[in-house]
Amino acid sequence: MSYTMNVLEQAKKKNPYEPEFHQAMTEILTTIQPFVDSHPEYEKAGILERLIEPERVIMFRVPWVDDTGKVQVNKGCRVQFNSAIGPYKGGLRFHPSVSLSIIKFLGFEQVFKNSLTGQPIGGGKGGSDFDPKGRSDREIMAFCQSFMTELFRHIGANTDVPAGDIGVGGREIGFMYGQYKRLVNSFEGVFTGKGLTYGGSLARREATGYGLVYLMDEMLRQHGKSLKDKTVVVSGSGNVATYAAEKVQQLGGKVVALSDSAGFIYDAGGIDLSAVKKIKEIKRGRISEYKNYRPDAVYTGGKGIWNISCDVALPCATQNELNEDDAKALVKNGCFAVGEGANMPATMEATEVFLQNKVLFAPGKAANAGGVATSALEMSQNSMRTAWSFDEVDQKLKSIMVNIYNNITAAAKEANCEDNFVTGANIAGFKKIADTMLLQGVV
């Protein structure tokens, strides 16, 4: 058995009951196998064994009091995966499904993604099984303050800089930042995604969705296509989905569907994003309420969004939301490009269907890297005590996404699998970290 496959087998045995982490390791290690096996220096230095083992895993109790006066207890965790090229960087997720397996898969992906951005950021991820849905602002604050009362001692502007993810937006980051500042008595850039009045960056809110579409636009352009007049289906209706849809519309595409965990809406005339923002960003409501704004739209409960016919699909909700049957349905209906706004939304089987059918497929670690890249721009602005304009940040984001596309294209070509951006992204992300780890000795 090759070095790479041996490490994978051992890692699965050593980390049982972690299916999402197994999936992320399998996807990455199988695609980089030929590259790694042609570089014996990686095996000698135990690079893969070190890469799949987080540098540190912190798990803690988060007690807080709900509005009825009852004490609630959640799990909190931060996985500091790899700091070879910079401080740990990656979001916090608050969702009832959060487990160590999910945080490890996200942290592992983050290491490669952050490497691809070309910026000096290592990889980490964290979160809690806390469910913010239906909680009052006071309950959210109580939870965030308790979460930070433990996490603060493990993070710092040069150590670990968390950000948002599912269930963690501006409100939650504000509460956590406030508590952090109080505990350490220091005003520092320890979070990204902050409010604009206390060190946040313009365009950070839009960055993941916009970045996804910039990368898709470049990919289509280099294949003689464009988003103009194309029909696009976007899943989710949170931060990434909303701003991906906005940029598609700005580039002349028509977004006809969005979803949340309860169901999806189809609006043949094109989604009215101002209605979506009112529902999701102001009322924190459900996507089914869209019909109150556009009575002709159709709401369908449950899954099924991938059966809608489209040219381009952008899964922007959560992991494993698009399976093999969904991929076959998309291909059958003529979809020719897929970009992962979410982390690992397509299952491995679905990805295989896209690759076999020559669908242009942009994997999440490249396609959604615009969020963390702009977070790194926020860190730079904080260090320089300056604030760039929206256009300055947006221009930098755009050139980062075009660079990422060019780098993964070149890596795919070099590996003799042109247009396989999964392999390209994994090799390009891996090489920089592995070579840096070689330079830094056995640590």
Binding mask 170-209 for ligand NDP (x = CB under 6 A): --------------------------------------x-
Tell me, residue by residue from 203 to 242, as one string, x for binding to ligand NDP by CB under 6 A and - for no binding: -----x---------------------------xxxxxx-
CB 164 within 8 A of CB 172: yes
In DSSP notation, 286-298 reads: -GGGGGGT-TTSE
Full DSSP string of 303-349:
S-GGGS--SEEEE-S-TT-B-HHHHHHHHHTT--EEE--SSS-B-HH
Pairwise CA distance, residues 108 & 342, whole Å: 15
98 is written with which tokens?
């959060």
Closest to 261 (Cα-Cα) out of 236, 239, 238 = 236
Q: Which of 87, 122, 164, 200 binds ligand NDP (CB under 6 A)?
A: 164
260 binds ligand NDP (CB under 6 A): yes
Please enumerate in sequence order all residues whose Cβ is within 8 A of that of 33, keeping only pairs 6 or more positions apart, or say none.
2, 4, 5
Task: State the minimum distance, in angstroms, from the CB of residue 6 to ligand NDP.
Answer: 30
Residue 44 vs 284, nearer CB to ligand NDP:
284
x/- binding map, residues 366-405, to ligand NDP, per CB under 6 A? --x--x----------------------------------
Size of the site for ligand NDP (CB under 6 A): 23
Task: Choose, by CB under 6 A, the member of 343, 347, 381, 423 that binds ligand NDP.
Answer: 343
341 binds ligand NDP (CB under 6 A): yes
User: C-beta of 302: minimal distance to ligand NDP in Å?
Assistant: 10
Closest contact distance (angstroms) between CB of 342 and ligand NDP is: 3
Residues whose CB falls within 8 Å of the CB of residue 68, separated by 6 or more in sequence, listed in order: none
Nearer to ligand NDP, 4 or 80 (CB): 80
For the annotated catalytic residues, the residue numbers are 125
| Residue 275 is a binding residue for ligand NDP (CB under 6 A) | no
- For ligand NDP, give the closer residue by CB, 54 or 132: 132
| Interface segment toward ligand NDP; rule CB under 6 A; list 52-60, 162-170, 331-339, 410-418 | 162-170
Q: Of 310, 208, 326, 333, which is closest to residue 253 (Cα–Cα)?
A: 310
Residue of this chain nearest to ligand NDP (CB atom): 238
- DSSP assignment string, 30-93: HHHHHHHHT-HHHHHTTHHHHHTS-SEEEEEEEEEE-TTS-EEEEEEEEEEEE-SSSSEEEEEE
Strand partners, 125: 79
Cα maximum dimension of the chain = 64
Amino acid at 433: I
Toward ligand NDP, which CB reaches closer, 7 or 369? 369
User: Burial letters for 289-299: b for 16+ Cβ neighbours within 10 Å, e otherwise?
Assistant: bbeeebeebeb
The answer to whether residues 168 and 191 touch, using CB atoms and an 8 Å cutoff, is no
**The two three-digit tokens of residue 175, written as one number:** 């509460």
| Binding map of ligand NDP across residues 116-155, x = CB under 6 A, - = no contact | ----------------------------------------
By beta-carbon proximity to ligand NDP, the closer residue of 149 and 382 is 382
Least distance to ligand NDP, CB of residue 364, Å: 7
Residue with tokens 């041996």: 6
Q: What is the footprint of ligand NDP within residues 305-334 (CB under 6 A)?
A: 316-318, 321
3-state secondary structure at position 14: helix
Listed ranges 45-53, 161-169, 246-254, 323-331: which one lies at the site for ligand NDP (CB under 6 A) = 161-169
Q: Which is nearer to ligand NDP, 8 or 217 (CB)?
A: 217
Q: Which amino acid is at 57?
A: V
Interacting residues with ligand NDP (CB under 6 A): 164-167, 208, 236-241, 260-262, 316-318, 321, 341-343, 368, 371
